[in-house]
Structure 1
Amino acid sequence: MAGRIETRLTELGVVLPEAPAPAANYVPAVISGSTLYVSGQLPFGPDGLTATGRLGENVTVEQAREAAKLCAVNILAQARAALGDLDRIGRVVKLTGFVASTPEFYDQPKVVNGASDFLAEALGEAGRHARSAVGVAALPLGAAVEVEAIIEISSGAGA
């Protein structure tokens, strides 16, 4: 039987992929005490990387918002792989979004809203979080967006 978060994702039409494998020498998620740290996730979809390039150059805010949402989907996939059950998520504590952008681009928060809005919609109050949105010159594999998360693990039933 699907848990409440998996049920909500189904209602939203979101199917979590298998957790993407790391692209270098790191682990995709680490549990320390009651905290889950999810490594930066790129916007990988069924057809590979969905948004490459830089904001202010060749990627629109809307394309990058969708990419940030996909990063958040991949964060939940990593959380499910690490925790076994998404209902063990107590709260998304913090997101950090990295946006590949030109020096003249200043709307990084609008881009990272794609991840923030999705997590709030999928997880309700538990998806509301502190956040940083940072512009960077380049990201791995030429991705336009990367998002990492710090998640509190619930101490309730199933934890």
Structure 2
Amino acid sequence: MSIEDRLKEMNITLPKAAAPAANYVPFVKSGAYLYVSGQVPMGASGLEYIGKLGENTSVEEGQAAAKLCAVNLLAQAKAALGELENIKRLVKLVGFVNSAPDFTDQPKVINGASDFMVEVMGEKGRHARSAVGVAALPFGVAVEIEAIFEI
């Protein structure tokens, strides 16, 4: 089953790829790779999941934020490639979690994106990953995720 078909089956419509918020490009194609800039949890009505994990945002909310970031990563990939079937595999995700000083469940939070990518892409969605706690993220969002795809 194609990635697009799987998204339809899951009732997920990819949004229009977001424009950059500063002086950078949303993606770079280089050789056999597509590098997608960090995506925040931008929903249909704007930014969602503002907050700090371990302070005012739950792990479950963080996972939902990570999943929304992953949806936005796929939207950028589609904008870059035209078709998601041009992706050979997801190579790596790097997840940043807006964390209180004693919060240590960053991997659980980023599982929201990892699990989604495997569910949508199957085996080619299995990837290497980093899950990093940070003191703050742009606009106060709970999660930001970047990706590297082989194309």
Band the TM-score falls in, shorter-chain normalisation: over 0.9
Indicate the residue corresponding to 1:140 in structure 2. Answer: 138
Q: Deviations over 1:109-136 (max 9, x none)?
A: 0000000000000000011100000000
Does residue 104 (structure 1) correspond to residue 108 (structure 2)? The answer is no
Indicate the residue corresponding to 1:156 in structure 2. Answer: none
Q: Deviations over 1:56-104 (max 9, x none)?
A: 1100100010000000000000000000100001000000000000110
Q: Give 4+ residue runs of structure 1 displaced > 6 Å after superposition.
A: none
Aligned length: 151
**AA partner of residue 41 (structure 1):** Q
**AA partner of residue 117 (structure 1):** D
Indicate the residue corresponding to 1:76 in structure 2. Answer: 74
Q: Helix, strand or coil for the counterpart of 1:25?
A: coil
Does residue 14 (structure 1) correspond to residue 17 (structure 2)? The answer is no
| Structure 1, unpaired ranges of 5+ | 154-159
How does 1:7-156 map onto structure 2 within 5 Å? 7-153=5-151
Q: Give TM-score scaled by structure 2 length.
A: 0.98
Whole-Å separation in 1 of the counterparts to 2:113 and 2:26: 18
Q: Deviations over 1:27-50 (max 9, x none)?
A: 000000010000000000001111
**AA partner of residue 8 (structure 2):** T
**AA partner of residue 120 (structure 1):** V
Q: Helix, strand or coil for the counterpart of 1:57?
A: coil
Whole-Å separation in 2 of the counterparts to 1:103 and 1:91: 34
Whole-Å separation in 2 of the counterparts to 1:103 and 1:4: 41
Distance apart, 1:5 and its partner CA: 1.2
* Backbone CA RMSD of aligned residues: 0.8
**AA partner of residue 142 (structure 2):** A
